[in-house]
Amino acid sequence: MRSVKSLLLWGFASFSSTAAALAFPPLFHETREAEASSSIAKRADEKTPKYFVEAGRNIELGHYDNRYFETKVSYEEHRLVLRDLIRSYLFHMNSYGVETWIAHGTLLGWWWNGQIMPWDYDLDVQVSNNTLQWIGDNLNRTEHSWNYTETATGKFISKRYLLDINPHHVDIDRSDGRNIIDGRWIDMQNGMYVDITGLREREADRPGVWSCKNKHRYNSQDLWPMRITEFEGVKARVPFNFNKILVEEYDTKSLVTESWAGHRWDHDNKIWIQETEEEAKQRQLGAVDRHLAEAAANPQTEESQDAA
């Protein structure tokens, strides 16, 4: 398994002429005045209908688009479903010359080993607001095929995905929070999806600060120029200052913690593997032993505790 260092091609990205047209961030004053005025007008008295409706409100069902959901994808299958989702999305966006980059937990998975973390049930990507507008104008509601032959079984796989852009993507703020997701790349077989979020310079007094409706903020120099790398075996982009972005969102522990959500990091194979019940039990006992040892090495008298 490749390390992050071998995955990442350091330096400036070289884009095709089509991609270059979408690669550079627009100036704040280019933001459409009509977008701002329409966003303000909508906030008057009525609640904006939610565009993307999930299959349920709990964590599991919240990762499925209700239009295509029939039954939950099993743990054993979900990573393959997500792998095909992100591969197909990145491949098709690359073919259109669209600058998009992986974000949030998906970016964290890339940092560890260039793969989706096995406990994740969704994927996150970002684009600039101008790129999002272009996608909405040219690709909205289009269906895309993804065909391949499984190496292990020789089985031919054929899937279809819907690229769906929320008509409320032009809204400047989050309003009532119903439409903070700007677009989705949806598996039409089961409803699982990639969340697409647009970043823009929303605050006139903070030029160079890009944010989404969910209030994640990034400085221009932390995003651009994008770095070219691989994710799940497909060409991908990550923000220039990815380490800073990950630490600000997840803390430094996310880059060193080797046990999480019932999984542990396998140093030999550079992958996350699911713990057995016995492994989880032994890890918990080990944590208790370490805590007791630390307490014994640093005893506190009642007087010192009272003084503190």
Predicted confidence (pLDDT) per residue in 169-215, tens digit: 999 999 899 999 999 999 999 999 999 999 999 999 999 999 999 99
Check whether 163 has a pLDDT greater than 50. yes
Element (DSSP H or E) covering residue 217: strand 217-219
Burial (0-12, 13-18, 19+ Cβ within 10 Å), 291 = exposed
* 0.85 exceeded by pTM: no
Q: Within this chain, do residues 118 and 189 fall inside the same structural domain, yes or no?
A: yes
Q: How far apart are CA 285 and CA 280, in angstroms?
A: 9
CA angle 20, 22, 28 (to 5 degrees): 125
> What type of residue sits at position 88?
S
Q: Within this chain, do residues 288 and 199 fall inside the same structural domain, yes or no?
A: no
Using the structure block, give the residue that is written with the tokens 């793969």: 115
Q: Within this chain, do residues 290 and 224 fall inside the same structural domain, yes or no?
A: no
Mean pLDDT, residues 216-239 taken together: 99
Report the domain count for the chain.
Answer: 2
* Position 214 in a domain: yes
Given 254, 269, 295, which residue is the final one in a domain? 254
Q: How far apart are CA 38 and CA 170, in angstroms?
A: 8
Query: pLDDT tens across 172-183, in order?
Result: 999 899 999 999
First CA to last CA distance, the chain: 49
Q: How far apart are CA 168 and CA 133, in angstroms?
A: 11
Q: Within this chain, do residues 88 and 149 fall inside the same structural domain, yes or no?
A: yes
* Position 96 in a domain: yes
β-pair type (142-149, 156-165): antiparallel
> How many Cβ atoms from other residues are within 10 Å of residue 226's Cβ?
20
Query: pLDDT band for position 271 (50/70/90)?
Result: very high
